[in-house]
Chain A
Amino acid sequence: MELALSGITKQFPGVLANDDVNLEVSGGEILALLGENGAGKSTLMNILYGLYTPTAGEIRIDGTARQFDGPGDAIEAGIGMVHQHFMLVPVFTVAENVMLGNEPTKRFGWLDLQRARKTVREISSRYNLDVDPDAIIEDLPVGLQQRVEIIKVLARQANVLVFDEPTSVLTPTEVVGFVEIMNGLKADGKAIIFISHKLTESLELADRIVIMRRGRTVAEVTPANMDEEKLAELMVGRPVDLVVNKTPAKPGEVVLSVENLVVLDDRDKRMVDGVSFEVAAGEIVGIAGVQGNGQTEIVEAITGLRPSLGGYVKLKGEDITTASARSIHKRNVAHVPEDRQRSGLVLPFSVTENIVLDSYYEEPISNGVRMDWPAAQEQATRLVEQYDVRTPGIDVAVSTLSGGNQQKVIVAREFDRDVTFVVASQPTRGIDVGSIEYIHSQIVGERDQGAAVLIVSSELEEIMALSDRIIVMFEGRIAGEFDSSATRTEIGLAMLGSRPEEITS
C-alpha cells in the first residue's frame, strides 16, 4: 500500500491554500502532518478525500493515478477519514451510522440491521474498541464517538486512514487509549496520516513528521532527532516562546464566588450540578475538563446568559445570580466567549461596530439616540493600534480577519476598561501561535493589574501554563482542585472523574 500526493496545488479565490505539495505514506506507517491553523493541512486532506478538486497535481495509489470526484470515489480507493467535527448523525445508533451509505439490505432495500450490528461487533472486538452497536450517538462521550468514526472507516475497508486533529477532543487518558488503537491499526498494515498542531503528540506518535507552513511543505523530519522548540520554529517560521512568563500570583480579596450552582442546558439536562468555588483578585483560576462537562453552562450562568436553577453567583459580595448580562457587564466584567464567531462578534459588522458593541448606547459613543460615529472610529483606531489587531482598516467586515485577529478585537473590546473580573472561554482556540502568545500575555497583564481571572479551556497545556489554581470539572461537578505545581497525570485522572482520594494515593 503506497499513497503519493505530488505537486498538489489548490487555488481558492484570493488564497493559495496548497502550493505544490508532495506527500507519501505507505502501509504500516504513521505520518504526522503538522502545521498551524491555516497552513493548508485540512485543504490537502480534503483533496485526498475527494471533497475538493485540486487545481493541479495528482494522487497515486500503488503507482496508478486516481481522480476523486467525491468522497465516494476516495472511499472506493480505500481512503477513510475521521473528521475533526465528527460526521455522525446524532439521533442514529452506532450501527445505523456505520452502515450509512454502505447499507447491507435484504429485498426491497429493507435494512439488514443484524448484519450491520455484526460488522460493528467484529471490528470493535478486533481492535479492542468496545463499542455497543445499539447505542445512540448523542448519548456517547466524545472518545467513543471517535471510535465509531474509526469503525465506520474500517467497515469500508480503508487502507489509508486520515485523522484530522484526533486528540483535540480527548482527555489525556483517552489519548492513551487512542494511541493504542493507532498502533493496532499500524500493526495491521494500515497507513495512517494524522493532522495536528500539537508538538508533543506528533513527536510521541509519528514515525515521520511533515511540516506545512502557508500552503507548502517546509520540512520532513523524524522524531528521533527533533525537540519541541525546533519543531515549533519550523512550524511558525521564527523562534517561539513556549512558556507563559508570569510571576507568582498575589491573591487579594475574593471577587467572584459561586455557591452551589445548578444549571440546565437547552435540553433541560442538568449540566452544572452544585458547583462552588471562588476567584480572588490577582489570581488566574483555570477550569479544566473535557468539553461538555458543564464548563459552557457555568460561564453562561456567571455572565447572565443562562438562568440557573439553584445556587448563587456573587461578585464582590453582591448577588448577581439573576442580573442581566448587561448589568453584569457594567460591573466591569470582561467576557471572552467560547465561540467568537457565534457569540463574540457580529461577523458582517465592521471592526468599529464590533468594538463599540458593548458601549454603543452610552457616552461617548452615543447620546442615547444618535450614534457619534467619529467617536466610535476614534476608539476603534486607538484599540486596533493598542491591541495589535492586524486589519486592512477599521471599516472592513470583521469576518475577513484571521481567527487570531478576530479574537484580538474581542479582547480589545472587553479589556479596555478597569476590569475587575475576566472570564475567558477557550481564549486561543484555533488561532495562530503569535496571537496565542499575545492573548496569554494580555490575560496575565489583567491579573497583574489586580483583576480576578477565570479561564476555561479544553487544552490542558493552556490551563497549566496560565493558571495559578486549577479546578477540574467532570459531569457537572468539581472533580478536583490543584495548585499550579500539579502534574498532567493528576489532572488527567481528575478529568476522567476519579475521586480526589484516588488521585492522591
Chain B
Amino acid sequence: MTAQIAAGATEESLHRATPEQRRARTVGILLLLLAAFVLWIFGLGVESTDTSTFNLSLPGAKYENIKWEVDSRMLSAILAAVIAFLGGLVLRRTYLRWTNVALAISLALTALSFLTWAAAGKSFSLVGMLVSTVVLSIPVTLGALSGLMCERVAVINISIEGQLLTSAFVGTIVGSAANIWIGFIAAVLVGALLGAVLAVLAIRYHIDQIIAGVVINIFALGLTSFLARRVLTAAPELNSPGRFASAKIPFFGDIPVIGPMFFDQNMFVYATFILVIVIHFGLFYTRWGLRSRSVGEHPKAADTVGIDVHKTRYRNVILGGCIAGLGGAFLTLSQVSRFEENLTAGIGFIGLAAMIFGRWMPFGALAAGLVFGFARALQQKLGILGTPIPSEFLSMLPYIVTIIVVAGVVGKSRPPAADGQPYIKQ
C-alpha cells in the first residue's frame, strides 16, 4: 500500500498561507503603519495646547450650542493607540472574519483624527458636515440602487452616469419651462427611456453590456453639453427650475445631530430611504424579487420553470433607469438648481463602486453611499476650514476613496452568477 488512508492534514503541515491569512497579515501591517501615521502627523502635527471644537448643532436649532471640546493631540494619540491595538489583533490572525470590521473601524477613527487635526485651534461644525454627508450621498446611493436593480437580473448598467446626466438636464429644462413637479416626472421618464435603450441593446441584440453602457454615457455627455451650450446660453431662463424645499418632520427633526441629518431634508432624501427599504424587502420577500434574483443567478433554471427571463430583465433595467432618473432630478432640482456641462463628474461611476462595495444589497448601497458622501463632504468642508493640503488633492478625495474601497476593502464579494451574460434561448 502506498496510499495513506483517510488521514487529514495536520495544521503544522500547512507551510503555505491561505489567501485569507495573507490578507490579514497585509491589513494588520497596514493598520500599524496607519497608527504610526495618525500619531505622527495628526497627533504631533498640532500644538500641545491646541483644542478642537466640534459643533454638534446648527445655528437656530431648537437645542442650540451643543459643543464638544477636546485636546487635539490627546485625542489623536488615543485614536492611534486604538488603531494599533486593532492592527495587533488582526496580525494575530485568530479571528480572520473580523479583519474587515477592524479595518472599517480603523478607517473611521483615522477620519476622526484627521478632523481633529484640521480643526485644531478652531471651531468646526461637525453636524453641518454630517448633514452634507447625507445630502451628497443621495445621488451615489440612487446610482448604486439603479445598478443593483439591473445587476440583480444580470444586466450590467455602466450607463448610470449618462442616465443621471441626461435626467438632470431634461429635469432642468422641463422644470424651468413648466413647473418643478413636471420637470421631476420628465427626469424620471428620461432615465427610464435610457434604461430601455440599454435593455434593448443588451437583451435584444446581445451587445456587450459594457460597450453599450459606454456608448450611452458618451452620447449623454455629448448631447447634454451641446444642448447646454446652444439652448441654455441662448435662453438662460430655461436654466432655473427652482428647488424642492425641505420638509422637517415634527419632533424627530429637533433631535440633535440625527434630526438635521435624517428628518429635516427634502423629499428626495426621504424617497431614497424609502426606496432602500422597499427594494430590500421586494428583493428578498416577494415573488418579484425571487424571480428577479433567479434570473440573475441562473437564467436557464428560471426559464425551465416558466419565468420569462427577457421580460424580467426589461422590467428591472427600466426600473433601474427610473431610479437613476430620480438621482438626476435630485442633482438639478434639489442640490444646485441649475445645469452645467458634465455636472455629474463621475457620480454615476462612484455609484457603481458603491453598489459593489455594498455587495449588491440595498442597505449596503446606502452605507456605501454614505461613505462616499462623507468623502465629498470632507472635501468641501476642509476647503472652508483652510488646511495646508492643496485644494487639488482635496478634490481627488472621493475618487481616491473609490479606488481604495473597490480595490482593497471589499475583499471577495460575489456578484450575481450570470452577471453580464446575455441569455440566448436555443
Contacts and interface: CB of A to CB of B under 8 A. Distances in A.
A195 interface: no
A166 interface: no
A179 interface: no
Given A274-B9, A276-B3, A71 B290 contact: no
Contacts of B4: 260, 274-277, 478
Contact of A101 (B5, B13, B19, B291): B291
Contacts of A96: 290
B245 interface: no
B307 A109 contact: no
Interface string B249-278: 000000000000000000000000000000
Contacts of B8: 273-274, 476-477
A252 B113 CA distance: 70
Interface string B291-320: 101100110111111110000000000000
B10 interface: yes
B288 A277 contact: no
A148 B298 CA distance: 16
Given A89-B294, A481-B3, A310 B15 contact: yes
B415 to A, nearest CB: 11
A330 interface: no
Interface string A461-480: 00000000001000011111
Nearest to B281: A110
Given A51-B426, A52-B426, A479 B290 contact: no
B287 A111 contact: yes
Nearest to B2: A278
Interface in B338-386: none
B291 A308 contact: no
B360 to A, nearest CB: 11
Interface in A466-505: 471, 476-481, 499-500
B237 interface: no
B300 A87 contact: yes
Contacts of B304: 49, 51, 71, 81, 83, 87
Contact of B9 (A88, A103, A260): A260
A311 B5 contact: no
A212 to B, nearest CB: 19
Contact of B297 (A89, A101, A110, A276): A89
Nearest to A74: B306
B3 A101 contact: no
B1 A100 contact: no
Given A109-B288, A111-B286, A310-B15, A87 B1 contact: no
Contacts of A141: none
Contacts of A307: 16
A92 interface: yes
Interface in A65-96: 70-72, 75, 81, 83, 87-92, 96
A310 B5 contact: no
Q: How large is the interface on A (under 10, 10 to 19, 20 to 34, 35 or more residues)?
A: 35 or more
Contacts of A481: 1-3, 5
A157 interface: no
Contacts of B302: 89, 100-101
Given A96-B290, A277-B3, A309-B18, A75 B306 contact: yes
Nearest to A85: B300
Interface residues of B, number: 38
Contacts of B16: 307-310
A481 B4 CA distance: 9
Contacts of A499: 6
Contact of A478 (B5, B303, B305): B5
Interface string A39-50: 000000010010
Contacts of B95: none
Interface string B9-43: 11001111111100000000000000000000000
A90 B2 contact: no
Given A51-B426, A71-B303, A111 B13 contact: no
A477 B10 CA distance: 13
Given A311-B9, A479-B5, A499-B6, A108 B286 contact: yes
Most buried by B among A89, A152, A274: A89
Interface string A249-274: 00000100000101010001000011
Chain A binding surface, main DSSP class: mixed
Nearest to A270: B9
B393 interface: no
Nearest to A49: B304
B389 interface: no
A55 interface: no
Contacts of B288: 109
A324 to B, nearest CB: 16
A137 to B, nearest CB: 10
Contacts of B19: 264, 268
B306 A70 contact: yes
A208 to B, nearest CB: 27
A376 B192 CA distance: 55
B6 A103 contact: no
Given A51-B426, A96-B290, A101-B305, A480 B5 contact: yes
B205 interface: no
Contacts of A276: 3-4
B417 A90 contact: yes
B287 A500 contact: no
A55 to B, nearest CB: 14
A479 B301 contact: no
B235 interface: no
Contacts of B9: 260, 262, 273-274, 310-311
A110 B278 CA distance: 12
A268 B287 CA distance: 33
B7 interface: yes
A92 B13 contact: no
Interface in A100-138: 100-103, 105, 108-111
B305 A102 contact: yes
A480 B7 CA distance: 11
A89 B302 CA distance: 8
A103 B3 contact: no
Contacts of A99: 290
B55 to A, nearest CB: 45
A111 B2 contact: no
Interface in A258-308: 260, 262, 264, 268, 273-278, 307-308
B405 to A, nearest CB: 22
Contacts of A500: 5-6
B13 A103 contact: no
B298 A89 contact: yes
Most buried by B among A111, A254, A278: A111
A339 to B, nearest CB: 18
Interface of A: 46, 49, 51-52, 70-72, 75, 81, 83, 87-92, 96-97, 99-103, 105, 108-111, 152, 254, 260, 262, 264, 268, 273-278, 307-311, 471, 476-481, 499-500
14 contacts: A52-B426, A71-B306, A87-B301, A99-B290, A110-B285, A111-B290, A264-B19, A275-B4, A277-B2, A277-B3, A310-B14, A478-B6, A479-B6, A500-B5
Interface of B: 1-10, 13-20, 285-288, 290-291, 293-294, 297-298, 300-307, 417, 426
Q: Which 9 A-B pairs have the closest CB atoms?
A: A274-B9, A72-B306, A101-B305, A87-B301, A278-B2, A277-B3, A276-B4, A310-B14, A109-B287
